[in-house]
Structure 1
Amino acid sequence: MTNAVAVSEMVTSSHDRLSCSYAKAHLRIAFATRHDAFQWLESQHRNCMAVISAAAEAGLHRQVWQLVHAMRPSWRQHRRYPDWITAHELAVRSAIECGNAKAYMVLALSLGTALRSAGSHEAARGRFSDVLEMSAVILDRRATAQALRGIGATHCAARRFADARAFLDQALRVSKENGSWREVALTDIVHARIDMFQGRHAVAVERLTAAQNLLTTAGDPYEASRARAYLSRACCLAGDTVSARKYGRAAREGFLAFLAGAPDLWSARSLEFLAFAELAARNARAAQDLMADALAEYEVLSSTDAARLRAHLLRVRATARASVPSAVPVPVGAASAPDASAAPDNGRAGAQ
């Protein structure tokens, strides 16, 4: 558990920190890079799940929620939703048993994110609503903003855009009152996704440009790169393939630099968005190569994304063989939209 905390501090340093009473400095591995840290945690994933289960059965509630929280990099990186959900359900109950309201809210937010990404929208909304209620009781305005954003993002995932906007606007208001500009930026990313679905591409570009600037200033390179990945897609949809390529490359470079080359879902998505920019610029061969690279990364990260992109790559190749001059993908928001702009977006684990 000591070393899981060490990994979490290196890889997800911008997330909510919870005190971990089990950390023993003399047992701590000095990881050289984020990649090394993540690889260690990956090698211990099954062991960690076994420890969580055994600790829960033994009534070691503090150890349960602390280890689940320390495994944030694993939840974010590989999107193992069944494990993510199972572990967090145990952790939420353990935090309640310990009477730790802060831990409960942080873990319930992460559980809501996993449920939303797995398609269980109503269950996710229930978790976020629970956090919203508790945050009002203990006067935690940051958790209030996060819960509001979680509910808004869940409505977005369910394509209830009017409801999503209402909660996102509330989240923005609370975050601005708190002076939490990182939270403002993360909320505007969700707003921009809705803008893209609704064909408001110039508005999405404006929001995402501001978001990536705020996140850079806030010292969150990972989320800044995620904003740039979406900005690449928005620029492409707005017809600006030059900017789409620029921001797509910047996003990819940012992810690779932050994780020292470790596999990451959003790094793969930045490649996919670059492929769509090349398609829009009528560079079918470059687009196919980028899609193939993204697919290779998805294969070890997300079976859902791999299946989606594999099907689209086959269509693009068939179109190229038929010598059709344009293979521009269906705009985001259409019923058959093939790209990751329409895929579940949980950002980093817990969206905190």
Structure 2
Amino acid sequence: MVGAGAHREGHDNPADRTSHHRTKNTVSGVVHGATVQAGAIYGDVHFHPHPPRTVPHELPPPPVTFVGREDELAALDSRASMTTSGRCALIALGGVGGVGKTALGVSWLHRRSDRFHDGLLYVDLGATDAHRPMSASEALGRCLRSLSVPSEQVPAELSERTSLYRSLTAGRSLALLLDNVVSAAQVRPLLPASETSVVLVTSRLRLVGLALDGATFVDLQPLSNEDSNHLLAMLLGRDRVEAEPVAARQLSELCSGFPLALGVVGARLLAHPQWSLVEFAASLRDQRNRLSALSLADDVSVQAVLDACYRDLGSRAAQVYCQLSACPGEDFPVELVGAVHLDVVEAKAALTELVEANLVQEHQPNRYRYHDLLRAHADGLGMEDEQSRQETKRQAIGWYLDRAVEADLTVNPQRWRLGPLYASGKQPTHFNSAESALDWYEQERANLLLAVHEAYEHGWDELVWQLCEALWSFFLYRKHYPDWMAIHEIGIAAAQRCEHPLAESRLRCQLGFGHLDLEEYDLATEVCEPALVLAEAAGHRESISTALSQLAKAERGRGDLDAALSYFKRSLALVEETGNLRGIAIRLRRIGSILLDQRRIAEGIDHMQRSATLLEVLEDRRGRARTLTYLGKAYASADRVWEARAALHEALAVMRDSGSPSYQADIVYALAALAENDTDITTALKHLREAEALYRASGHPRHDEIHERIARLTSPQQATQDESA
């Protein structure tokens, strides 16, 4: 018997094995850790524990003022047990906004949390956001990460995410609360493959399509008068309610039993203990006819309550509340507020007042968002001064452009640019490293994309194409191909609309790069040929050189190496005229890659070495790492294996810090080829599997090629060949 922490005085002597006539196989006493029971063990025993799996508990805290709903809670208990083999219980909670769907779902799941040993997941799908709902693919990505799948291993394609999610959830006991759903299509990929799991869906709509997926429906009605009074008593204290019972009942009636309205009323009265309930009830009957709106069982029933809160705000807080609803995105950082008419100190003070009034939420440190109904309320108020609202929106988009330019300069300080903000010579001050800049892009990704869309919708074309150019470093290193393609199509349209041919040429080349990454060479040519025509018509050498370089890569992808080399040489000659050292270094690398393809190994290595030297002088670590990747492959072609490994490992160290899965994959793939050439199949497979995961995470199509290679190396025939080698 060997237990964890067991001590042995040495190894058994094989010569003594025959002297043991009997083997005892018993366990006595307390064992801490793992235990192995066997007849006899010669040598060491090693235990390799799996890393612990995090059990997600993502539900918001249970509402402290949840009242009533006994019938609905009983219905959830009953319907949660209505499952069929391989299918989870799916329950759709329906009702108008503010009626308490989320509160019911959260409360029930907290009460029944002991049923779900594998975790409680929460996703707000944003159906009531002022912009657009979350996609099923993004929601799946969040769920997979919650289930301990590393970000770099989350597939890019919706179908692959769905398959992985179903595999991970099979047989598990999970609960999901999918909040603010807008369509049945959002829900279907998120259904666990387990009859011991439950999915609660909340939506303002009755999602009848979910009936095809076995859903049952629970429709919520407003609270009864009795429960409404109880809720007010919980918020304000029973003594205060009993001191003004008639006014308390009037407030309940004016709120029409909507928990959100009652909650806001109670919060404001609690914050102002000197106010009487009679006076506050009277404020809901003001001359702006809030009473009739509040008496309707619809979203407008909340309007009067929110207007009362709004009227009590200070002038700065009121200004922020109205204007920020015009800003693109689901949430906003305090710096954005500071860029819209206020400095950061005033912005923080105004936001603090809004948080205390429960009109915005600080869901992360210094990041704020509206509740969906509150944003709609603020939108309506902002419409009273549409000119100011549009000015705010433009300022917000301008802030995103300014910050994106800084991030781009931090990641790629020496790349030539077209936008006027780059020409100002302003140095980045908000990012201390390329990694922090890329992380900012990632955090603000949804807001940046919305900024592009909204700027285009408002005809602010100069902002659109400049934003697209400023997003280049993000797409180069983090990929996000669908966003890359969609945003650049909009940018090209904006450049055409504002008649800026150089901007169109620039964005066509950036879009073409994405197609080249995806090995869509004909599409890349189709996009970049007009870019060359536009650049030549303008006589802009940098733009001409860039377009030639993209066309060269497309020719290489199609196998026409002579045409590719001709394009690259023309491109190099132009950047040599401009004196752009980084451009020269990159084109030397690209020419070197063509020479390697033509088996002109020595010439290829020479070009790569010259490129690496230039980039080292320029202190362009990432650019040099890309060149070292190609140089490592060149050394391998020349059987200079030690130099190949050294170059590739140096490049990998830089790219791991850069957070670029695709470029890391290129290097690991090259290391796999080296190991395979050395017949080190174990190491080759290790590298191939990592490369496959990295390519898959970035959405690169090469993961299929690597998957086939792994299958070949792990086939029985290959194993036999390896043994006979």
- State TM-score, norm by structure 1: 0.80
Q: For 1:146, what is the secondary structure of its paired residue? A: helix
Aligned to 1:276: 673
Aligned to 2:709: 312
Match of 1:231 among 616, 622, 631: 631
Q: For 2:701, what is the secondary structure of its paired residue? A: helix
Query: What is the root-mean-square deviation of aligned Cα atoms in Å?
Result: 2.8
Correspondence list, 1:3-18, <5 A = 3-17=403-417, 18=419
CA distance in 2, matches of 1:170, 1:306: 33
Q: What is the one-letter code of the residue matched to 1:310?
A: H
CA separation of 1:177/1:31 partners in 2, compared to 1, >3 Å: closer, same or farther?
A: closer
1:129 aligns with 2:529: yes
Correspondence list, 1:32-43, <5 A = 32-43=432-443
CA separation of 1:312/1:326 partners in 2, compared to 1, >3 Å: closer, same or farther?
A: farther
8 A contact 2:675–2:683 mirrored in 1: yes
Correspondence list, 1:148-167, <5 A = 148-167=548-567
Deviation at 1:91, TM superposition (A): 0.8
8 A contact 2:456–2:464 mirrored in 1: yes
CA separation of 1:154/1:244 partners in 2, compared to 1, >3 Å: closer, same or farther?
A: same
Q: What is the one-letter code of the residue matched to 2:512?
A: G
Match of 1:287 among 668, 684, 689: 684
Match of 1:71 among 450, 461, 471: 471
CA distance in 1, matches of 2:498, 2:613: 39
CA separation of 1:100/1:198 partners in 2, compared to 1, >3 Å: closer, same or farther?
A: same
Alignment deviations for residues 163-222 of structure 1 (CA, whole Å, 9 cap, x no partner)? 212212212222233333332332232223333333333332222122211222233221
Structure 1 portions without partners, runs of 5+: 328-352
8 A contact 1:112–1:127 mirrored in 2: yes
Structure number with the bigger relative contact order (C-alpha 8 A, sep ≥ 6) is: 1
CA separation of 1:133/1:6 partners in 2, compared to 1, >3 Å: closer, same or farther?
A: same
Task: Give aligned-pair identity as a percent.
Answer: 20
Select the structure of larger CA radius of gyration: 2
Question: After alignment, is 46-55 or 139-148 more displaced?
Answer: 46-55
8 A contact 2:545–2:572 mirrored in 1: yes
Instruction: Say how many residue pairs are matched.
Output: 320
Aligned to 1:175: 575
1:324 aligns with 2:722: yes
Q: What is the one-letter code of the residue matched to 2:596?
A: M
CA distance in 2, matches of 1:143, 1:205: 28
Deviation at 1:70, TM superposition (A): 1.9
Match of 2:599 among 185, 199, 206: 199
Match of 2:693 among 289, 296, 317: 296
Alignment deviations for residues 39-78 of structure 1 (CA, whole Å, 9 cap, x no partner)? 2322332332233223222212122112222221331123
Correspondence list, 1:33-112, <5 A = 33-112=433-512
Structure having the higher helix fraction is 1
Deviation at 1:158, TM superposition (A): 1.4
CA separation of 1:235/1:71 partners in 2, compared to 1, >3 Å: closer, same or farther?
A: same
8 A contact 1:149–1:167 mirrored in 2: yes
CA distance in 1, matches of 2:644, 2:539: 42
Structure 2 portions without partners, runs of 5+: 1-399
Q: What is the one-letter code of the residue matched to 2:720?
A: A
Alignment deviations for residues 296-316 of structure 1 (CA, whole Å, 9 cap, x no partner)? 322321341322222212322
Alignment deviations for residues 271-323 of structure 1 (CA, whole Å, 9 cap, x no partner)? 21122122223322222222233333223213413222222123223366335
8 A contact 1:241–1:280 mirrored in 2: no
CA distance in 2, matches of 1:119, 1:320: 29
- State TM-score, norm by structure 2: 0.41
CA separation of 1:326/1:291 partners in 2, compared to 1, >3 Å: closer, same or farther?
A: farther
8 A contact 1:148–1:171 mirrored in 2: yes
CA distance in 1, matches of 2:578, 2:441: 34
Aligned to 1:19: 420
CA distance in 1, matches of 2:466, 2:613: 33
